[in-house]
Amino acid sequence: MIPPDYASRTDGGPDPHELLEFLLYLGSGLTAAGEAVNRIEDRLRRVAAAYGATRLRVSVLPTYLVIALEPGQPAALEPTPQLRGTLRLNQTAALYDVLKAAERAEVVPAEGARRVWEILAMAPRFNRTVIIFGHLTLTAGICMLLRPTLSDLLLAAAFGALVGALKVFGGRWTSAQILMPVVASFGVAALTLVLASAGWVDVEARAMIAPLVTFLPGAVLTMGVVEMSAAQLVTGASRLVAGSLQLVLLAFGLLAAVQLVGLPRPDAVAAASEYRLGAWAPWAGVFLVGVGNYLYRSAPPRSFGWLCLVLYSAWVGRHLGEQVSPGYLGSFTGALLMTMVAYLVERRPSGPPALVSFLPAFWLLVPGGVSLIGVTEYMTRGADAATPDLIGATGTIMAIALGVLCGYPMYRRLGAG
């Protein structure tokens, strides 16, 4: 049934069925990009209003979204990709270009739907060798943030290349994607422990986690908390469950490696090393994280400088917060500053969408790494040993989520000014 406001139109407005299809595909793409569902619903209502459908009804759920152009009219349903996000940064940027044009009614709905499908089928900007090198660089950058030894850094970079190759060549099969976290964590941990038992390298859990950085669900867990606070209970809870399951799978691989190899002892794996690269290492690591994200996740052209700006804003915010009060304040201030800067960058003519620079910055705040250590300790040493890490990880995630929640309204005030 055609909605009444369209049935009487004679101004050459869009076909309601084409508009509905466009909104469904656009919402599905935004879900795949990892956008919060409350933001997706707001943007879709804005698009519909631009085309004259001012009474849109939309609901975004974990595996599908439902849209009706008018209250009481038949609703259409569209399955959505998995919640953890599947789009590369160049796809996300292209999708937001279509979204912005749609909010101004500058694209015909049928053409917009076709462009969304083309974006979902876009190839990476770089070839496989460059992508694997990007994963290596990203891993090295994250490892430098964790203050490792030199041997840890070199080993993490080597494993970063291996895990990058696994993701590039194994990511084409759905069954392989499901098993990949366990396989990668088991392989990295087992090889590291074998080398350590032979006396070739020092072992530290934080450095061993670095090659697994692209599996860590820090952004998923944080966005889940954000959505829960926005009363999106179903999707928020689903993100939290999905992120927690990802951590358990990664921890299971580490635990299996510890039980198989046996040496060094599990408590030695989690011990901190006395030898560090220096105070300069984290600041250089932020730059390497920017390079790695740009190559591995196929960031759009001319976005590297903006990406580094948001990354450094997150790191500076965290550093300043920790100087005032060690603990959760650093995570809060880092998330607050990176959110404001990401959305301010989006306003610039050459700036990428906030989501392009926003999601990579979550890794700098490392909620996933700390959580993984806590889960692993729980499985190897019991609840008493793991409780401090698990509580710390939960507090960190809550602090980041609160920073994001406060950062967006503050950006709006700055933008209005």
Q: Measured between alpha carbons, how far is 85 from 32 in angstroms, rounded to an integer?
A: 5
Average pLDDT over residues 314-334: 85
For residue 248, the model assigns a pLDDT of 80
Structural domains of the chain, count: 2
For residue 48, the model assigns a pLDDT of 94
Percentage of residues in the chain having pLDDT higher than 90: 29
Q: Measured between alpha carbons, how far is 188 from 7 in angstroms, rounded to an integer?
A: 61
Same domain, 74 and 204: no
pLDDT per residue as tens digits for the range 221-275? 777 777 877 777 777 888 888 877 877 888 888 888 878 876 555 444 444 444 4
Position 99 pLDDT exceeds 90: yes
Q: In the structure, what pLDDT confidence band is assigned to residue 390 with cuts at 50, 70 and 90?
A: low
Position 82 pLDDT exceeds 60: no
For residue 134, the model assigns a pLDDT of 95
Same domain, 56 and 187: no
Q: How far is CA 185 from CA 159, 160, 191, 193, in A?
A: 10, 11, 10, 12
Average pLDDT over residues 326-340: 85
Same domain, 297 and 382: yes
417 CB burial (10 A radius; 0-12, 13-18, 19+)? exposed
Q: Measured between alpha carbons, how far is 165 from 161 in angstroms, rounded to an integer?
A: 6
Looking at per-residue confidence, does 286 or 412 come out higher?
286
pLDDT per residue as tens digits for the range 362-373? 777 764 455 566
Same domain, 155 and 212: yes
Buried b (16+ CB within 10 A) or exposed e, 9-45: eeeeebebebbbbbbbbbbbbbbbbbbbbbbbbebbb
**The model's pTM:** 0.83
Same domain, 258 and 231: yes
Out of 69, 93, 120, a domain closes at: 120
Same domain, 222 and 368: yes
Question: Which of these ranges, 36-45, 50-59, 342-351, 388-397, has the smallest mean pLDDT?
Answer: 388-397
Position 4 pLDDT exceeds 50: no
For residue 91, the model assigns a pLDDT of 93
For residue 10, the model assigns a pLDDT of 38
Same domain, 138 and 248: yes
CB neighbour list of residue 354: distance below 8 Å, 6 or more residues apart: 342, 343, 345, 346
166-180, 261-275, 347-361, 391-405: which has the highest mean pLDDT? Answer: 347-361
- Contacts of residues 69-76 at CB distance under 8 Å and 24 or more positions apart, as own/partner, are 69/3, 69/6, 69/16, 69/19, 69/20, 70/3, 70/4, 70/5, 73/1, 73/3, 74/1, 76/20, 76/21, 76/24
Position 90 pLDDT exceeds 80: yes
Q: Measured between alpha carbons, how far is 356 from 266 in angstroms, rounded to an integer?
A: 38
For residue 199, the model assigns a pLDDT of 64
Position 136 pLDDT exceeds 70: yes
Average pLDDT over residues 196-206: 63
Average pLDDT over residues 13-36: 88
For residue 263, the model assigns a pLDDT of 55
Q: In the structure, what pLDDT confidence band is assigned to residue 101 with cuts at 50, 70 and 90?
A: very high
Same domain, 93 and 209: no
Same domain, 134 and 116: no
Which structural domain range is residue 65 located in?
A: 4-120
Same domain, 147 and 231: yes
For residue 1, the model assigns a pLDDT of 33
Looking at per-residue confidence, does 9 or 105 come out higher?
105
For residue 271, the model assigns a pLDDT of 47
Out of 90, 120, 150, a domain closes at: 120
Same domain, 270 and 293: yes
Same domain, 276 and 397: yes
Q: In the structure, what pLDDT confidence band is assigned to residue 13 with cuts at 50, 70 and 90?
A: low
Contact 139, 163 (CB under 8 A): yes
Average pLDDT over residues 188-208: 71
For residue 175, the model assigns a pLDDT of 66
Q: What is the mean pLDDT of the chain?
A: 80
Out of 120, 146, 172, a domain closes at: 120
